[in-house]
Structures are given as C-alpha cells and as structure tokens.
Amino acid sequence: MDLSVVIPVRNEADNVAPLVGEIRAALDGNLAYEVIYVDDGSDDDTVARLRQLADEFPSLRIIRHAHSCGQSAALWTGAQRAAAPWIGTLDGDGQNDPADLLRLWSEARLAQAPAGLALVMGQRTKRHDSWWRRVASRIANGVRSRLLRDNTRDTGCGLKILRREAYLAMPYFDHMHRFLPALVRRQHGDIVWLPVNHRPRQAGRSKYGVFDRLWVGIVDLFGVMWLLRRANLPRIIKDDPS
C-alpha cells in the first residue's frame, strides 16, 4: 500500500460519488492506494451512498463516528486505521481537485526530497470562495506565520500528503488540522508547498462560518504557541550501532 486517502465528511451525500470517481480516475494504475471515508455523524444519505460505492470499489473503507466530533477527530481516526506509510487528505465537498493528489505524492517520493520530509502541502492560488473568506484567510495565515514562525502560506487547504508516523506522533487536540505546518516544524520535520487547484462547491453547504473559525482559532493559536515553546524535542543525528 503506497497511499491512504483519508476524507472526513459530514452531510455530503451528493458529493461522495463524483469525488470517488475523480479519485479513481487520478490514482488507478499509478499507485496502490485505499480510500478511507470517515463519516463524522452525518444525518443525511452520506453513509448509504458510500455503501453503494463500496460494493463496486473494494478499496473504499467507511468508518463512522457515533456523533460529530469535528474534522481533526475524523482525520485522526482515519490516520489510525490507515494501512499506508503516507496519508493523503482532501476535503469531502469537492473543492479540492483529486488530480493534485498524484502531484503531491510524486513530490514526496522524489529522490531529492528532504530526508526529513513529513508534509507536502497544497496552496490554493486561485480560490473560489467569497471575497470576505479570502481576506479573512489571508489575515489569519499572516498572523499565524508571524507568531508561529512556520512559513504558513495556506493552512486551510485540505490537500496534503503526510507521513503517517510523523502525524500520529503529534499531540492530538481538536482543530489541530489547522496547525499542521507548525506541528511538523515542532518535530523538526520538513515541509514542501505546491500550488493546487481550487474549485467552487457544487452541492451541499459549508460547515464552517468565518467567525466560527476566528474565535476558536484565536484560542488554539495561543495553545499551539505554548506547545512550540515547551517542545524541546531532540533532533537525532545518527543512531550508534548496537
């Protein structure tokens, strides 16, 4: 297994079939992979649609939360169950282009990639969001980058390739998916950024509001700053032979 694609969803019934079709078109024949959908307490037909797809696509796995716990919890659940050493993530609303997964995966596997590479992160260069959401995101990225010193360019992009071992070694907390660059740096990991496609939502409604993210993000930001200051994690140079 080369790659485990983890997709957190909540009430995305109309988006699952098109997205799975695009993932298969992008990855079939290029690498050995699985798709793990983590349903975060949907109360629509999302699970029923996924079960229909799983009947004809054996590489599709479905994990369900008994109630909604949030995107970070869904990603963590998927990573724990993943079979591959690398995890690919994308949002379940169809705004991320699955064709970019192969580009990010190829970047992670390049011979000249940094030895400590732990995260290949997408950067949305042409966003199909409201002007207010774009402005708010730009301000948030600037503030985080300055305070956390993690060179954040687009921390909200759902398209990522993560080294599973490094990800599961991070301290888990709610909303941690918004701070992955800082958490990777905390572990002395390397990050590569690549521009990716961004598309308008075709069905369903966003689960987040600008102000919802703002107030929660401020509290989390100070928490992550504390984690960075208290890390003191050793950088291993070389293991001595036993």
Amino acid at position 69, single letter: C
SS3 (DSSP) at 200: coil
How crowded is residue 188: how many other Cβ atoms within 10 Å of its Cβ? 14
| Contacts of residue 84, Cβ cutoff 8 Å, sequence gap at least 6 | 1, 2, 3, 4, 32, 33, 34, 164
pLDDT at 41: 96
CA distances from 123 to 25, 90, 141 (A): 22, 12, 12
Structural domains of the chain, with CATH:
3-229 (3.90.550.10)
pLDDT at 115: 78
pLDDT per residue rounded down to tens, the chain (242 residues): 999 999 999 999 999 999 999 999 999 999 999 999 999 999 999 999 999 999 999 999 999 999 999 999 999 999 999 999 999 999 999 999 999 999 999 999 886 677 789 999 998 887 655 555 666 566 666 666 677 777 776 777 899 999 999 999 999 999 999 899 999 999 999 999 999 988 877 776 665 554 455 555 677 888 888 888 887 777 766 666 65
pLDDT at 9: 97
CA distances from 28 to 20, 99, 203, 228 (A): 11, 11, 25, 39
Distance CA 139, CA 197 (A): 21
